[in-house]
Each structure stands twice: as C-alpha cells, then as structure tokens.
C-alpha cells in the first residue's frame, strides 16, 4: 500500500477472511457512517455536551482501529480520556480539527481507490 | 444438529456487520445482530446460546443488559466486547457473571471464535438442547410415548399431573421402558419448559467424580481443576434435573445430595460462595427403592425427599397390542429414514412378536424391528426376519395372565416355531391330535 495512504485495510481484510467481494461493502459502510459520527462529535463539542462527546468518540474509535488510521488511533483515545478526566480542555479543539481533516481525507482516498462516487 | 444461536449486540454498524459476517462463516451459527440493548432483551425468548455484548450502547448500559440477561437465564454466556480499555470495568463485569471480556482490537475475532468453540463443546458435553427447538417439536407425550394400552393411558395421566406442579417425581421401570422420555415429557410440558433439562446417569460417572459433576468446582479446587466448572444443578437452574439410576448412588454422596436438596443451595467444590438454585428433580431407577432402603443401601430420608409423585412405567410385555403398534411405528420410521419402501408385518411375524417377553423392553423391540427391516427381502416382514437376542420365549408364558385357550395357543405357536411348522411332529410332542392343532392355529386371532 502507498505510504501516503491514511488507511490500511489489512485488519478489516483479515477480519472478513480475505473476502474481496465484501471489502467494498465494509468500505461503503465506513464512508456512510463516519461522517455521521464526526457530525455527532462536532455537535456535542460545540454544545459542550461532554458525555455525548465521550460516547461518540468511543464509538468512532473502533472504526478508526478497524481501518487502521494510524494518525488518529492515539488522538481518538486522547479525546476520550481528556473528556473523561475533564482535564486540559484547551487541547480538544486542535484534536477535533485533526480528527475531521484526517477522516475526511481518508474518506476521499477510499472513494478514489474504490471508485465510489459522491 | 441444533443450531448455535449467537446474539451480537453492537450499535456500531461497521463493527456489528464485521462480527455478524465473521461469525456467520460457520453455517452452524445462527447469528442475530441487534443495535440496542432493548432489542436484545426483547429477543431473549429466542434462547441465545451466547451473547456478544458491546459495553457502551446508546440506550442501556452494558452492565444493565448483562444483569437483565442473567436474571432471565443465568446460563446464557455473555461476552463483553468493548472499546472500553479499563481493567476495573472488566473485573466488575466478570464478577457480575460475564463469561469473558475482550477489548476491541485485532485479536477480538480469534478470542470470540475460541469462546464460541468452547461454549459449543460445553453444550455438547452437557447435552444442552436449544429449548426453543425442542419446544417447537411440540413435545407431545402421546406422540413420543406411543401406546394404546390401559397402562400407557394411565401413564399419560400421571405425566399430566406431574407437569402441572413442581413436585419431585420418581420413575420406576425396567431398563428400556423409556424413563428418560417420561422425564422429558414432564419437563417440556411444565412451566419450566423454557429452561434447561439436564440429565445425568449416576452409573455413567465414576463415584469419586459425581460430586463435581453435580455441584461443580472452582479453579484450583484439586489437581487438574484448571478452570471453574459449573455443576449440573446450576446448569439446570429454573429447569429440571433428571438423575437416572439414582439407586446406584453411594451413601456418602446421598448424604450430600440430601443436604443440597433440603437447603436448595450448594457450594462448588473448593469454593466459598453459596449458590441458590431452583430445580425440579426427577429421579429414575429400575430397582425397588423401598427394598434398597430396607437393605440399608439407600437413605430413608432421601427416599422420602425424592419420592414425590411415584410413576411406574410398565414393561412392554404387559402392554398387549402396544407391541404391534410400536413395531409398525419403528418399521415405518426406519424405512423412511433409510429410503426403503414401506413394509408390512406379516401375520406370522406378528404372532412371533407377540410371543416374546422383551427383557430389553421398547429399546429391544426397536432393535429387533430395525434388523428385521434389513433382513426382509420383500414388502413384508416375515416370521423368519424376526430374530430375538434371547430365546426365552417360554418365559413370557406366565408373565401375563391369560385364558386357558390363550395359553394353549401360545404353547402351540412356540412348538410350531421350534419344529419349523411340522404339525405331525408338534402333535406328537404335545400328545394332541393333528386336527386339533390345525383348528387352533386356524382360529388364532392375533
């Protein structure tokens, strides 16, 4: 796989036992669902609903792990912990910005690589 | 084979879909995927064999779902699969009865797969059926325990009486009479039918192991106890435990069993925790328990505790024409299962079947009929196709009261078989006229 790719499908491919036909289906779920999760995180952060923010960050974690988006695997955990421990809230905006930009870029790459329009 | 029903409770679509896909790769798995805890709880009547539960759900906390599953049926193994990487949470959930706890990482699928394998093995070992599948078979005792004789009609009445209450039941009957079927009929027609039916034959377990089989043990309780083992009483909670060949239990174990039954609680070997249980007990024996008590082989207090509703299961030789009814049933079933053309039973074969005493009861009749179906060369089972393991045809003669005419018929039939239908020889042996023998054979009504 290319070095500049944000994602790595080796874990999800192994999970579904190298079924090439299915991988496209899981990519389409990622492309459909991750923007909704991001929107939930942004909304919760904007309205300072930290319990909701923690919940949605926790949920997004498994998608990031399954698609091995290494740039974000530590960040998503940091967001969850910061909210959980109610410490250093000033770090959250930067992390959430990065979460948005990296995930949007990963989605674009996936769309391109799997020839998915929209 | 029973399907192994797995509930995947996961609100994350990607992860839920991946688990669902992966677990469904084994066609024996019947996977249901729910995205909320509420959906999972509403479907518990589908009897999952295993629940894979996400800890963080949008509607109910995972710990609450776990608690409700355990309240519904403590025997359903629940594996928590969660992104929650907190050891305290894991420990607490295990204390609350979770079977295991896996963080969501690249090892999740192997761990889950291995757990499914282990739980399946345990189901096979304990012969646990999916209660829904058994119930769907409509465990109609008149269908399972076939017969038209007055003895069997009477047995149906006792099964109905036993099914309506929680009374202990003691089944008495010779080997092969179907005591296990009666025990199942009682369970699956009672209000415990949605909970496990657990059977244990006392003679099948070495006496030094029976306590651990019944009450379980903790890890490290003795050499070789590498894992905790749940005993039969715990497995049968809210359901029925069937203890076959109870008269063979040794006196020391009888004392322990009595105490557990009286207190309705047990402690696993090597453990401290007192575990309460709610189990209906059905026991069976082919011995005369009163006599065993008199001889000091069986504790009197345990006898009275277990006796409850005593039910006598009649031997086949006392069930008259049930022999032919059952023979036709076994023959038809065997032919169907083996893609053979339907066969009839000839008059001669019927006579021969009715003459035998069946020391092995229904089980023996089934084996005789199946063998006859294999030996038969045409569309009917002939007398020659019927072979008995025991040749004690004369034993049967006085086992059942009959008229003098009946006895004469049986004696002549026996001699005819013995001397290969040679009427002059039979007449000579019995000091009877040949015409008398012909007349009796002609009038014989079987």
Question: Are the beta carbons of A16 and B12 separated by less than 8 Å?
Answer: no
Question: Does position B132 have pLDDT exceeding 70, yes or no?
Answer: no
Q: What is the pLDDT of residue B138?
A: 46
Architecture per CATH, domain B4-134, reads as 3-Layer(aba) Sandwich (3.40)
Q: B61 pLDDT band (50/70/90 cuts)?
A: confident
Domain membership flag for residue A69: yes
Q: Phi and psi (nearest 5°) for A108?
A: -60, -45
Interface contact flag, B15 A26, Cβ < 8 Å: no
Are A82 and A91 contacting, i.e. CB atoms less than 8 angstroms apart? yes
Q: Of how many residues is chain B composed? A: 446
Q: Which residue in chain B is spatially nearest to A65 when comparing CA positions?
A: B105
Q: Where are the domains of chain B?
A: 4-134, 141-312, 316-387, 402-446
* Residue A5 resides in a domain: no
Residues of B in contact with A24 (CB under 8 A): none
The pLDDT tens digits of the residues spanning B342-397 come to: 889 998 999 899 988 888 899 899 999 999 998 888 889 999 899 886 555 555 55
Specify the CATH number for the domain of residue A28: 1.20.120
User: Judged by CB atoms within 8 Å, which residues 37-96 of A form the interface with B?
Assistant: 55, 58-59, 61-63, 65-66
Beta-carbon contacts of B284 under 8 Å, excluding residues fewer than 6 positions away, are B170, B171, B172, B173, B179, B180, B183, B242, B243, B244, B245, B246
Residue A5 distance to chain B (closest CA, Å):
20
Taking chain B, what is the end-to-end CA distance rounded to the nearest angstrom?
Answer: 41
Please tell me if the domain spanning B4-134 has the same topology as the one spanning B141-312. Answer: yes
DSSP string across B125-140: HTT---HHHHHHT---
The CB-based long-range contact list for B42-48 (8 Å cut-off, 24+ gap) reads: B43/B7, B44/B69, B44/B72, B44/B73, B44/B76, B45/B132, B45/B194, B46/B5, B46/B132, B47/B5, B47/B130, B47/B131, B47/B132, B47/B194, B48/B5, B48/B6, B48/B7, B48/B76
Residue A12 contacts B, CB cutoff 8 Å: yes
CATH code: domain B141-312 is 3.40.50.300
Distance from CA of A57 to the nearest CA of B (A): 10
Residue A1 pLDDT level (bands cut at 50, 70, 90): very low
In a domain, A19, yes or no: yes
Residue A38 is assigned to a structural domain of this protein: yes
Overall number of domains in chain A = 1
Rg (CA), chain B: 28
In-domain check, residue A25: yes
Of A17, A26, A55, the CB nearest to B14: A26
Residues of A in contact with B15 (CB under 8 A): 62-63, 66
Length in residues, chain A: 118
Residue-range definition of the domain harbouring residue A61: 10-113
Please give, rounded to a whole number of angstroms, the shortest distance from the CA of B12 to a CA of chain A: 7
- The partner residue sitting opposite A58, judged by closest CB among B56, B105, B106, is B56
- The answer as to whether A118 is a domain residue is no
3 state SS of B356: coil
At residue B136, the pLDDT reads 46
Among B21, B22, B104, whose Cβ lies nearest the Cβ of A62?
Answer: B104
CB contact under 8 A, A65 and B104: yes
Preferred mutation among A24, A26, A59 to probe B, highest tally of B CBs within 10 A? A59
What's B316-387's CATH class? Answer: mainly alpha
Q: What is the mean pLDDT of chain B?
A: 85
Between B436 and A76, the more confident residue is: A76
- Tokens 């509930």 belong to B7
Pairing of strands B344-345, B380-381: parallel
């Amino acid at each position: 796989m290319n070095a500049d790719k944000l994602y790595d499908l080796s874990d999800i491919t192994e999970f579904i036992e190298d079924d090439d036909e299915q991988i496209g289906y899981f990519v389409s779920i990622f492309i459909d669902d991750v923007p909704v999760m991001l929107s939930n995180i942004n909304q919760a952060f904007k309205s300072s609903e930290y319990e909701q923010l923690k919940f949605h960050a926790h949920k997004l974690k498994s998608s990031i792990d399954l698609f091995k988006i290494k740039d974000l695997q530590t960040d998503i955990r940091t967001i969850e912990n910061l909210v959980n421990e109610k410490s250093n809230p000033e770090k959250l905006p930067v992390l959430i910005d990065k979460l948005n930009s990296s995930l949007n870029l990963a989605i674009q790459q996936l769309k391109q690589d799997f020839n998915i329009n929209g | 084979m029973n399907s192994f029903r797995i509930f995947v409770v996961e609100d994350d679509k990607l992860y839920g879909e991946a688990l669902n896909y992966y677990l469904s790769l084994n066609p024996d798995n019947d996977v249901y995927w729910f995205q909320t805890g509420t959906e999972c709880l509403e479907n518990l009547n589908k009897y999952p064999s295993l629940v894979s539960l996400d800890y963080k759900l949008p509607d109910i906390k995972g710990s609450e779902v776990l608690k409700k599953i355990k309240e519904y049926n403590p025997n359903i193994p629940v594996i928590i699969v969660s992104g929650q990487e907190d050891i305290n949470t894991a420990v607490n959930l295990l204390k609350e009865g979770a079977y295991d706890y896996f963080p969501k990482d690249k090892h999740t699928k192997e761990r889950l797969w291995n757990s499914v394998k282990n739980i399946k093995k345990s189901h096979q070992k304990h012969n646990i059926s999916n209660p829904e599948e058994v119930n769907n078979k409509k465990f109609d005792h008149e269908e399972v325990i076939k017969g038209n004789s007055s003895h069997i009609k009477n047995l149906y009445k006792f099964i109905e009486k036993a099914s309506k209450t929680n009374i202990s039941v003691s089944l008495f009957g010779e080997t092969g009479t179907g005591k296990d079927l009666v025990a199942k009929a009682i369970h699956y027609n009672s209000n415990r039918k949605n909970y496990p039916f657990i059977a244990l034959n006392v003679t099948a377990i070495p006496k030094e192991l029976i306590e651990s089989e019944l009450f379980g043990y903790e890890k490290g309780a003795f050499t070789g106890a590498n894992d905790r083992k749940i005993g039969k009483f715990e497995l049968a909670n809210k359901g029925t435990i069937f203890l076959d060949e109870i008269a063979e239990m040794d006196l020391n174990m009888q004392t322990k069993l009595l105490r557990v039954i009286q207190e309705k609680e047990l402690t696993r070997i090597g453990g401290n925790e007192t575990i309460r249980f709610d189990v209906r007990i059905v026991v069976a024996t082919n011995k005369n328990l009163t006599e065993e008590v008199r001889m000091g082989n069986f504790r009197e207090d345990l006898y009275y505790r277990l006796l409850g509703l005593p039910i006598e299961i009649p031997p086949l030789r006392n069930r008259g024409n049930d022999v032919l009814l059952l023979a036709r049933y076994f023959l038809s079933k065997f032919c169907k299962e083996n893609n053979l053309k339907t066969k009839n039973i000839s008059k001669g074969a019927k006579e021969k079947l009715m003459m035998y005493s069946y020391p092995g009861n229904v089980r023996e009749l089934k084996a005789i009929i199946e063998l006859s179906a294999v030996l038969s060369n045409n569309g009917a089972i002939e007398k020659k196709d019927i072979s008995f393991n025991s040749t004690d045809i004369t034993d049967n003669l006085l086992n059942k009261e009959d008229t003098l005419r009946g006895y004469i018929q049986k004696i002549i039939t026996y001699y005819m078989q013995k001397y290969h239908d040679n009427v002059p020889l039979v007449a000579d042996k019995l000091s009877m006229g040949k015409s008398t023998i012909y007349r009796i054979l002609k009038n014989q009504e079987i």
